[in-house]
Structure 1
C-alpha cells in the first residue's frame, strides 16, 4: 500500500491527538519529561493545522504519524548555548512534534517522514532545518543524526518540566548556487 505525507486537515485532528497522547505516554514510560507539562495542547494542534504547518504520515490509508514543519523562525532558537548554529543568519524551517504510531514504528517510518518533511521544505526554498529535543529523547536524537542533523548546542524552550533541549541543525547545499560556481 502507498505510504506518503500530506498536510493535515481538520478531519485528522482526532488521530493527531491520539498520536500525540501515545507519544506522551512513551516519553513518560522512558522517564523523559518532554511533553509532560501539558503541551502540545489541542489548541496548538488546531493552530498548526490552520496555519498549514501540520503534516500527517499515511500508511495504508491510515494516519500513522504527525509532525509540524514550520517555515518561520522561532524565538526559542534565537539563542543557543554551548555551541552555535552553523547558518545563524540564514532562514530555516523547524520540525516539531514528530511522532509515529508505535505499532508501525518497526517499518522505519520516522526516517521516511523526516525525509519527506525535508523535501517539502527544500521545494519551498528552505536549505536549513532545525529541531530540538530533550536530552533523554535518544530515539529522536538518533533519527536526526542518521539523517545528517548535527547537534549544535542547547536551546531553552517554554516547558514547565524541563526547558533545556538539544538543538539540531541540517544545512543543505543549494544545488543551483553550487552549479553556478
Structure 2
C-alpha cells in the first residue's frame, strides 16, 4: 500500500474532525476516560492546521489517519514525575487517530513511523508521547515501536503515561 504523510490543509478539517470523533466514541466504548472532557474538539483541529502541526495519513487520496506533531513544544513535559531519556530537542505526538473503517491494519504504528522519519529529517532523534493509563491499545503500539515508559505527566489535572523513543 502506498501512503502519504503530510501537513493537513484547512480544507481537510471536517474529515480530520470526523476521524477524531470516531476515536472519541471508541475511547468511551472501551471504558476509557481519555478524550471524554470536550477535548479534542474542532477548534483544536483548526488551530493544529493553522499552526502547521496537524498531519494526515493518506491512502488512495483518502485521509485515514491524523496526528498533531510539534517540535520542543509541550510545557507539561517539563514537570515529569520520572525521567525522560534525554533533554535534547524532541518531537511531541498528540491526537493520534485512525478512521473507523481502517482499524486493525497497524496504521497508528505507521503514523508513528512517519513521525520518526519527520523528526530525523529535522535532525531530531527523540520522540515523546503520552497516553491515558486506560488506553491499553496505544500503550501496546508504543512498546511495539520501541518507546520506553519514562514516568507520568499531567494534562488538565489528570496523570498520563509518558514515553520516549530515541535513536541516532
Normalised by the shorter chain, which TM-score bucket? over 0.9
Cα distance between partner residues in 1 of 2:2 and 2:75 = 37
Partner of 2:17: 17
Q: Are residues 1:110 and 2:108 paired?
A: yes
1:156 Cα deviation from its structure 2 partner: 0.5
* Structure 2: segments with no counterpart, 5+ residues: none
Q: After superposition, give the CA deviation of every residue in 1:50-98 in whole Å (9 maximum; x if it has no partner).
A: 11110001112111100011012311101111x21110x2111100000
TM-score (norm 2): 0.96
Q: What's the RMSD between the two structures over aligned residues?
A: 1.1
Partner of 2:53: 53
Partner of 1:68: 68
1:111 Cα deviation from its structure 2 partner: 1.4
Cα distance between partner residues in 2 of 1:34 and 1:144 = 17
Partner of 1:144: 142
Larger radius of gyration: 1
Partner of 2:91: 93
Cα distance between partner residues in 1 of 2:99 and 2:67 = 12
1:110 Cα deviation from its structure 2 partner: 1.5
Q: Give 1 or 2: higher strand fraction.
A: 2
* Structure 1: segments with no counterpart, 5+ residues: 174-181
